Amino acid sequence: MFTRREILRYLGLGGLGLAAPSFLNGCGADGATGFWSPTYAATILDARIAIAQAMADTQTPSISVALCDGERIIWRETFGYVDQAKSVPPDLDTLFCIGSCSKVIAAIATMILVDRGLVDLDAPLVRYVTDFRMASPDYQAITVRMLLSHASGFPGTDARNLFTFTPVLDYAAQVQQNLASQRLKHQPGEMAVYCNDGFTMIELLVAAIAGQPYPRFVQDEILTPLGMSQSRYALTPFPAGSFAPAFREDGTPWPQECTNGCATGGLYTTPSDMTRLARMLINGGEFAAVRILSPAAVAEMGRDQTSTLTLNPLPSFRWGLGWDGVAQPGLAVVGVTTWHKNGGSMLYGSDFFVAPEERLAVIITGTTTTYGSGTLAERILLNALAERGRIAQVPAPLPEVPQPEQAATDADLAAMVGFYAQYEALLRIEAEDDRSLTIRRYNDGVWYEDARDLKRRQDGTFSSDAQPLAAYWTFIAEDRRYLGVRNRRGLGHYLAAFPFGQGVEPAADLSPAWVARASQRWLLVNENNQSVVLALGAAPGTTLEAVAELPGYLLGFSGIVDPAGSDTRARMFLKIPIKFGRDLNDVVMETRYGEEWLRCGGFLFRPQASVPVLAMGDNLVLIGAEGLAEWRKLPVTGARAGIAGATAWKLYDADLKLLASGNGDGDSGANPTGTYLLLHAAPDGVIRVTVLP
């Protein structure tokens, strides 16, 4: 942890004569200059210190931020470097990807069409995208409102080709095609759980109604009228130096990231541009005498869309249209209504807060996802409110004081003990001899301790003395048992509660077909050859794992699935609102080339056991008409491979750890653990692989 003096020295504010190496600044109205506004000086100083600390703690290369009050941009500043080798800082026009903050733009685009009488929020999607289909017949009940408020029932996110280093211009069409074979996760409108694919379908809706591609509509109807001249989607490579890159561990920059779901997360912009969007919303849809939306449309975006949901326990998130929430809890506890949206891609993290009644807004964006953009945005607005006198002071963090204990009865323990699943974890709660609870998380055959010494408290929850504000309990909703969790959030001055997992009971034993598959591994064949996910080192394979303690289920690429009743489809079954039930898919077995392949969501995997082994010397590898990647095993671990005719290739060890990669012709190099080659080329292409000892 840096001391305050060290941070001030880093900023050049410590009286030591050091220039701040990476900050450009501006304040006042558009085009005005200066160090900072006479008002909000304390807010800005506090924010600069907090941002510097966050960057140091998380190795975030660069951050850009802006704060506006009514028609004035109070503060806009950049931090860090866009070229670390040459110590080049970003400037106020440097582009950052704002990820899912782009969903606010998607909602605005839709509401423009609503204002024009061309779209009805409560009309079914199929009225506008007439060729939309799903495997569940109830897809016809999905409305436009449900797409914008995460209530459609879609499985979640088609992650295939979503994050790449080259644009994938047909991603929205890919998502529609994938959904055609997918089941609904829940009934349309039953609950709201974070869902990217709903916003990707907004692209197709806008294109169908407006008669032009979604990015063009956004440019013509939102960005250009608002004067957001720097903002754009990554449809083509950007000029060098125009965007802030993320950096590898060795200090070299990653190429430009393309989030190909434009509506769900693809906009590159600047905080200065986003203040124009914020001021339009604050002004009821108008900016600089240009009306984008009606006041009614802005109000509808900012209205709680969750009040009529059937399944909505612990409503910590009150979704708006495009907004993560219309009452950000850290501001709500001081009586200030704030619309908020978080945005993350693989390489960028952002938050966008708008307090319409206070006429305040903040946007912060940076080149990691770990620096705490939401906490920083919350901090900036709370300090601004305190400095202008709207609140007496920034609230202090809640004290870490355990509640009084209350002896746990057998019934209390029985209500907690068992298995719970969510989209990214399988949990087990066990009672100990002293009547405390332990929570363990399953990973690769081992149950790791997550929390221990959880004691029953007077309010009926379980928490430890060491972390008294992290509380657990169970509740019943729609005849399902859920695990709830409540913990301290943001600056630590409030608690938020979520459905954290769904109870899962042991079931009948797996069929012989699924038992046989549980010992196999499959390898990915249809991800883009410029995938950011694979470049970051994600293993391009999956397994189906049977858990001895919880018979009847399998763990795989998309979490827990239930194979009962079918030898070819293991079904997603969790229904957890808000966050922890997101991105679930069925596992489907397909027969290709006389062997079983595995499909999960948009991803297709081939069996690892049948990967052909290369011979020493020259080998020809044929790419099929579908353009699926080909896998080959080296004849000897660590053999060297010369590659010609590929568009891209990657070398992995036996555990699928990435060892080397390249685009075009290349040489795997001498790598003693190299085992598998992943090869990409155009459909019907031919790759020559020369293997040397």
pLDDT digits (tens, 9 = 90+) for 107-118: 999 999 999 999
* Whether the model pTM is above 0.85: yes
Contacts of 344 (CB under 8 A, 6+ apart): 99, 100, 350, 369
Contacts of 568 (CB under 8 A, 6+ apart): 588, 589
Read off φ and ψ for residue 29, nearest 5 degrees: -70, 170
Lowest mean pLDDT among 24-28, 209-213, 367-371, 460-464: 24-28
pLDDT of residue 320: 97
Task: Over range 371-383, report the average pLDDT.
Answer: 98
Closest CA relative to residue 530, chosen from 195, 234, 102: 234
Contacts of 43 (CB under 8 A, 6+ apart): 67, 75, 380, 383, 384, 387
Cα separation of 556 and 573, whole Å? 14
pLDDT of residue 29: 38
Output the DSSP codes for 440-484.
Answer: EEEETTEEEEEEEEEEEBTTS-EE-SSSTT-EEEEEEETTEEEEE
Res. 9: pLDDT tops 90: no
Which residue type sits at 563?
P
Among 25-29, 311-315, 333-337, the range with the most confident prediction by mean pLDDT is 333-337
Output the DSSP codes for 126-165.
Answer: GGTSTT---SSGGGGG-BHHHHHTT-S---S---TTSEES
State percent of the chain over pLDDT 70: 95
pLDDT of residue 19: 28
Cα separation of 124 and 113, whole Å? 15
pLDDT of residue 32: 37
Read off φ and ψ for residue 385, nearest 5 degrees: -65, -40
Q: Which position has the higher pLDDT, 164 or 85?
A: 164
Q: Which position has the higher pLDDT, 595 or 316?
A: 595
Give the confidence band of 39 by pLDDT, cuts at 50, 70, 90: confident
Q: Is-contact 361 351, C-beta < 8 A?
A: no
Place of tokens 């008409």: 625
CATH number of 611-692: 2.60.120.380
State percent of the chain over pLDDT 90: 92
Q: How distant, in Å, are the alpha carbons of 153, 156, 318 from that of 186?
A: 5, 11, 19
pLDDT of residue 503: 98
pLDDT of residue 253: 96
Read off φ and ψ for residue 5, nearest 5 degrees: -65, -40
Q: Is-contact 352 363, C-beta < 8 A?
A: yes
Give the confidence band of 519 by pLDDT, cuts at 50, 70, 90: confident
Closest CA relative to residue 80, chosen from 110, 108, 52, 57: 52
Cα separation of 156 and 176, whole Å? 13
pLDDT of residue 35: 38
Cα separation of 514 and 567, whole Å? 7
Res. 6: pLDDT tops 60: no
Query: SS3 letters for 374-443?
Result: HHHHHHHHHHHHHHCCCCCCCCCCCCCCCCCECCCCHHHHHHHCEEEEECCEEEEEEECCCCCEEEEEEE
Q: Which position has the higher pLDDT, 186 or 8?
A: 186
Measure CA of the first residue to CA of the last residue in the chain; give whole Å. 50
Cα separation of 169 and 171, whole Å? 6
What are 517's two structure tokens? 């598959």
pLDDT of residue 475: 97
Q: Is-contact 504 482, C-beta < 8 A?
A: no
What are 163's two structure tokens? 């994050």
Q: How distant, in Å, are the alpha carbons of 48, 87, 150, 329, 487 from that of 491?
A: 16, 32, 27, 11, 12
Q: Is-contact 493 442, C-beta < 8 A?
A: no
> Inter-axis angle of helices 196-210 and 171-179, to 10 degrees?
110
pLDDT of residue 316: 77
Task: Over range 578-594, report the average pLDDT.
Answer: 96
At residue 410's C-alpha, the angle toward residues 504 and 450, to 5°, is 50
pLDDT of residue 558: 85
What are 549's two structure tokens? 């303690």
Cα separation of 371 and 348, whole Å? 10
pLDDT tens, position by position, 76-93: 999 999 999 899 999 999
Cα separation of 404 and 675, whole Å? 57
Closest CA relative to residue 43, chosen from 388, 355, 359, 374: 388
pLDDT tens, position by position, 223-237: 999 999 999 999 999
Cα separation of 462 and 472, whole Å? 5
Residue 640 host element (H or E): strand 640-644
Place of tokens 């997101």: 582
Give the confidence band of 30 by pLDDT, cuts at 50, 70, 90: very low
pLDDT tens, position by position, 95-153: 999 999 999 999 999 999 999 999 999 999 999 999 999 999 999 999 999 999 999 99
pLDDT tens, position by position, 386-415: 999 999 999 999 999 999 999 999 999 999
pLDDT of residue 634: 97
What are 192's two structure tokens? 């709201």
- The 8-class DSSP code of residue 361 comes to E
- The 8-class DSSP code of residue 92 comes to T
Per-domain residue ranges for the chain?
97-322+356-364, 410-423+430-504, 512-608, 611-692
Q: Is-contact 689 614, C-beta < 8 A?
A: yes
Task: Over range 207-212, report the average pLDDT.
Answer: 98
Contacts of 617 (CB under 8 A, 6+ apart): 690, 691
Query: SS3 letters for 195-243?
Result: CHHHHHHHHHHHHHHHCCCHHHHHHHHHHHHHCCCCCEECCCCCCCCCE
Give the confidence band of 635 by pLDDT, cuts at 50, 70, 90: very high
With 0-12 / 13-18 / 19 or more C-beta atoms within 10 angstroms meaning exposed / middle / buried, residue 679 is: buried
What's the mean pLDDT when you consider all of the chain?
A: 93
Res. 10: pLDDT tops 90: no
| Class level of CATH domain 97-322+356-364 | alpha beta
pLDDT of residue 27: 38
Cα separation of 626 and 164, whole Å? 19
What are 54's two structure tokens? 């966050």
pLDDT of residue 603: 97
Res. 38: pLDDT tops 80: no
Task: Over range 620-637, report the average pLDDT.
Answer: 97
Q: What is the dihedral sign for C-alpha 86, 90, 95, 98?
A: positive
pLDDT of residue 304: 97
Task: Over range 343-361, report the average pLDDT.
Answer: 97
> Inter-axis angle of helices 102-115 and 271-282, to 10 degrees?
40
Cα separation of 194 and 30, whole Å? 35
Give the confidence band of 23 by pLDDT, cuts at 50, 70, 90: very low
Cα separation of 196 and 194, whole Å? 7
User: How many residues appear in the chain?
Assistant: 693
Cα separation of 394 and 386, whole Å? 6
Helix (H, G, I), strand (E, B) or coil at 173: helix
Res. 31: pLDDT tops 50: no
Task: Over range 519-547, report the average pLDDT.
Answer: 96
Place of tokens 């914008």: 148
Res. 16: pLDDT tops 80: no
